Amino acid sequence: MGFQRRRPGRGFIHTTNSAQIRNGRRMEPHDRMGSGVQVRGGSVMLNSIFRKWLAASVAISFAILLVLTVTVSWLVQRDYYRQGLKQLEEHAKAVEQTYVQLREGNIKMTEFRKEVKRLEQEHGVMISILGKKVKYLKGDLYEVGVRPDIKSWVVSVNEGNRIERIAKFRKQDKAKMLIVGVPLMKNNQIIASAFIYSPAADVKEIAAPIRRSIWLMALACAGPLILLLWFATRRMVRPIRRMGEAAAAIAGGDFTSRVEIRGDDEVARLGSSFNEMAERMELVEEQRRRLIMEISHELRTPLTSIRGTLQAMSDGILTKQEQSEFVALSLEETLRLGKLIDNIHELSAFEEHRIDFEFKKADLTELVDQTVQQFRPKAEAMGMMIRTDGDMEKSLFVHADPSRIKQVLVNLIGNALEHNKKGTTVVVRLQGQSHKVRLTVQDNGQGIAGEHLPHLFERLYKAESSRTFKGSGLGLTISRHIVLAHGGMITAESELGKGTQIHVELPLVRR
């Protein structure tokens, strides 16, 4: 409702929206969006999103190129090592065949050594043979054999295992060695270990041309890629920018602003949700304005009557009988004014879900009978008739708050009596169905035009002129909230000259 402040010396109330007042000052539409940040069509925030998105896209693209380069280098290195070890395996087989000839006496030791040297020179490898009993060739491996890892290689081969290693012989070495170790057998016993090894070339130098080619291609594609990312990012951010502009327009008070929806992706669904929100806000704003106007009108009538009475009494222009009549009229107006204010507070509590209900098993038949008996004297005094109909002879139980359901009955029956002329018959009908009970308040009075029925349960809505229409226009709205809180529904049927029917359906509770 906002803050209400009465200006000194004035007879009306000035209403200000509470959202427009902060820290003792009135806020204008352009600075309601946030504290210290002014948005001009959403461009500041969304341009930042555009830049971040573009930068992220470019960074991801270069990261992909970097990963591609590293992957290619690793694949080149792996294939190179595999080929090198495969070649060493072939040389190892040649050493084994030569040793078999030595073992069978086909060649002598000097010839064996010459053949091993020939293998070393022709293929650019180094061969070391370490025997348990006979040391054929010592070489570099023997000289550094004191290293624990190399000793473990020798032990592993002496146990009959073939090994493949990519490692350094010396800690100070920069290049790795490709090493293959095989056992040499005699009479099913291992008498020596043969190691064939060669320096591994610098794989980085081998992969350098490939990496260079990848980066040259990346640089050649960088311009078109960035341009493509710029257009793609701009296209993606454009709907968000439009939503920002629409949001700024709504913040400035233009609730008719909408965004154009294209496609069926997440952004399109976001735009659809935004438009639905804007429509609801426009409806709420329209209801708020109408509520303020209608409340002002409802308050002005009794206040004018009371002020006129007080002014006349102050001027001494009324007789005692007139004073008595005007005082009675003013008292009636104050009671109506108090009831209106109470209904507004109650409706606000319903809309903010601050109403507590005391649900229990209640006999709806008994509630209807009690309420009808309560209204019967008033109906007779107004020249009307009220009666019950339907399943009134059996108990129909509902899970409800009896006081709130009776409030609905009082509102519906009271409206039927107050808004019709003398001679009208009001019928309250109960009908028990399989899973629900249907309560109908029907009259054969003047009825309501069809264009007013969709708005009948809106707050402060009146089908007739407020000058001839009694009540606050909140009873049906409050009744709708009560029925919905009980899991039911309320509807209306009417036709001019033939009367009105209000139907309430509530879940039925079996005994």
- Domain ranges across the chain: 255-354, 356-509
Q: For residues 80-105, b (16+ Cβ closer than 10 Å) or e, as one string?
A: bbeebbebbeebbebbeebbeebeee
Give the Cα separation of 313 and 319 in Å (integer): 9
- How far are the Cα atoms of 102, 421, 494 from residue 447, in angstroms, in the given order? 124, 11, 6
At 412, the pLDDT band (50, 70, 90 cuts) reads: very high
Per-range mean pLDDT, top range of 32-36, 41-45, 134-138, 195-199: 195-199
pLDDT at residue number 449: 84
- Express each pLDDT in 443-466 by its tens digit: 998 888 888 888 788 766 655 433
| For residue 38, pLDDT beyond 60 | no
CATH class of the domain whose range is 356-509: alpha beta
**Mean pLDDT on 396-408:** 91
Q: How confident is the model at residue 148 (pLDDT cuts 50, 70, 90)?
A: low
Instruction: Tell me what pLDDT residue 316 has.
Output: 80
pLDDT of the residue at 161: 92
Looking at residue 461, its pLDDT comes to: 62
Q: Under CATH, to which class is 255-354 assigned?
A: mainly alpha
pLDDT for residue 182 = 92
pLDDT tens across 82-124, in order?
888 898 999 999 998 988 888 888 888 888 888 888 988 888 8
What mean pLDDT is reported for the chain?
Answer: 77
Average pLDDT on 306-334 reads 82
Average pLDDT over residues 312-337: 82
Q: What pLDDT is attached to residue 369? A: 92
Per-residue pLDDT at 136 exceeds 60: no
What predicted TM-score, i.e. pTM, was given to this entire model? 0.46
- Measured between alpha carbons, how far is residue 500 from residues 88, 390, 442, 458, 493 in Å? 103, 18, 6, 17, 6
Could you give the CA distance from residue 102 to residue 504 in angstroms, rounded to a whole number?
A: 111
For residues 486 and 475, the model is more confident at 486
